Amino acid sequence: MLQIAAIRENKDAFAQALKKRNIDAMPLLENAISVDEKRRSLQAQLDETLAVSNKLSKQIGDLFKSGKAAEANELKSQTGELKEKSKQLNEELNIAVTELQDILYTIPNIPQDSVPSGNSDEDNEVLSQHGVIPTLHAGAKPHWELVKDYDIIDFELGTKITGAGFPVYKRKGARLQRALINYFLDKNTAAGYEEMQVPLLVNEASGYGTGQLPDKEGQMYHVGVDDLYLIPTSEVPITNLYRGDLLEAKDLPIAMTGYTPCFRREAGSYGSDVRGLNRLHQFDKVEILRIEHPDHSDSALDAMVVHVKNILEELELPYRILRLCGGDLGFTSTLTYDFEIYSTAQDKWLEVSSVSNFKTFQSNRLKLRFRNSEGKTELAHTLNGSSLALPRILAGILENYQTESGIKIPEVLKPYCGFDIID
């Protein structure tokens, strides 16, 4: 969430920057400023009324002590009026505060200068490409056919017990899935990320804290009876571990990783992009997150990109790195790098990771602060990245490592799997 003080000082610059997201934000920004002016005026009136009331109360006390009861009682009628006025002002102030917060919740983060303009994923900037795209044998198949041949993932069985988008992993498919989770976690913890195991359901405050609410409300599964949400990513519960905290500068950086199943309704998804593992309602993901000093978040983002690169290179999957354009940038992000692996069987690039810097956008919502070297409090920066999302990584391995005699296992995963080939 943007800070209202920053909006007042940078209204024109923010409106110009948000054009990269293809939105005219000026009406929202001006509305926020207008409501904030009303809020400030009400606060000033309330403060003044309370000050007068307190002054009169002191005078009344002094008059009673001096035996001037008549004068004291005369003033008491004025304090009654002031209390009623204070009550009314306080109610109006609470309404203005809520109205301002609701407006601020709808304004996305400001893209960094390096974010390219563009309308969709077709306008994302390809920064680099790595690895060798394999040449497959004649008759090579996409993963949704391979898994049937080797009986390792059952989409129909998942539909039977739940619905479409909830696959059942079987035999070597389940073991490969578990191997990837353990491998990712080991890589992350070896790099200094502390492992966390967190709830899969969060309350509304947590959803607002990291920006999934209200922006992605329709994409999250809601347990209405208890007013809880199934997590779309472990970013939500892990980041919220520090909601409302005041840290010391020496505590930073904080680096965390966690594995969770993730749940997304993916409403409106259709076509070839949703086939097989390409898009699911429930999927596994390992996440890395950082809470950083503002001076270090840019370099921390670069280090996270290098970390994900190293994992993909160890898996020997061809990949490329993109810088997302304004039209494809997530609501909470100021800068995002996407990683895509190439699926030779599908003849397409598959997104497997997003690594993002949110600067103070999340921490302002979370009220996540730290005390700097001067003893003053300021908002920390938050970052997160997929390290990695499993479905498309698994799809890429199954498709790119297939041979006529079976599906080979990447060398780095063999100790985790306990087998060399799926046959």
Q: What CA–CA distance (Å, rounded) separates 167 from 284?
A: 11
Cβ contact 109:2 at 8 Å: yes
**Is residue 8 annotated as involved in ligand binding?**
no
Let me know if 27 is exposed, middle or buried by CB neighbors in 10 A (0-12, 13-18, 19+): exposed
Residue with tokens 């966390």: 196
Do 233 and 99 share a domain, yes or no? no
139 in the same domain as 91: no
CB atoms within 10 A of CB 355: 26
126 and 21 belong to one structural domain: no
Is 159 a known ligand-binding residue?
Answer: no
Does residue 114 sit within a domain?
no
CATH code of 291's domain:
3.30.930.10
8-state DSSP, 278: S
Q: Which among 338, 389, 387, 336 has a CA at the least distance from the CA of 361?
A: 336
C-alpha torsion angle, residues 92, 98, 100, 105 (rounded to 10): -170
Determine if residue 360 is labeled as part of a ligand binding site.
no
The span from the CA of 123 to the CA of 329, in Å, is 11
Interval 66-88: pLDDT, tens:
777 777 777 777 888 888 999 99
∠ CA 103-18-112, rounded to 5°:
115
pLDDT in tens, 362-412: 999 999 999 999 999 999 999 999 999 999 999 999 999 999 999 999 999
Q: What is the DSSP string of 255-274?
A: EEEEEEEEE---TT--SGGG
pLDDT in tens, 95-149: 999 999 999 999 999 999 999 999 999 999 999 999 999 999 999 999 999 999 9
Tokens 């780095």 label which residue? 412
What residue spans of 315-348 are helical by DSSP H?
none
Residue 21 among known ligand-binding residues: no
Q: Distance (Å, rounded) from C-alpha 72 to C-alpha 91?
A: 29
Supply the CATH number for residue 66's domain: 1.10.287.40
Per-residue pLDDT for 94 more than 90?
Answer: yes
Query: How does pLDDT run across 289-314, given as a tens digit for each residue?
Result: 999 999 999 999 999 999 999 999 99
Cα distance between residue 192 and residue 184, in whole Å: 13
Question: Taking phi first (over 0 means left), then psi (-120 to 50 degrees means alpha), and beta for anything else, what does residue 132 get?
Answer: beta
96 and 128, same structural domain? Answer: no
The annotation status of 109 as a binding-site residue, yes or no, is: no
145 is in an annotated binding site: no
Q: Are 211 and 241 in contact (CB under 8 A)?
A: no
Domain that holds residue 61: 4-105
> What's the total number of domains in the chain?
2
Tokens of 358: 């949110």
Q: Provide CB contacts within 8 A for 326, sequence distance 6+.
A: 19, 20, 21, 22, 111, 115, 116, 117, 118
Taking residues 164-186, report their average pLDDT. Answer: 97
Query: Does 240 carry a binding-site annotation?
Result: no
CA nearest neighbour of 366 among 201, 204, 240: 240
What is the residue-averaged pLDDT of the chain?
95
Residues 223, 250, single domain; the answer is yes
Within a 10 A sphere around the Cβ of 17, how many other Cβ atoms?
Answer: 19
The annotation status of 40 as a binding-site residue, yes or no, is no
266 is in an annotated binding site: yes
pTM for this model (two decimals)? 0.93
Residues 206 and 94 both lie in one domain:
no
351 is in an annotated binding site: yes
Q: Is residue 96 domain-shared with residue 132, that is, in the same domain?
A: no
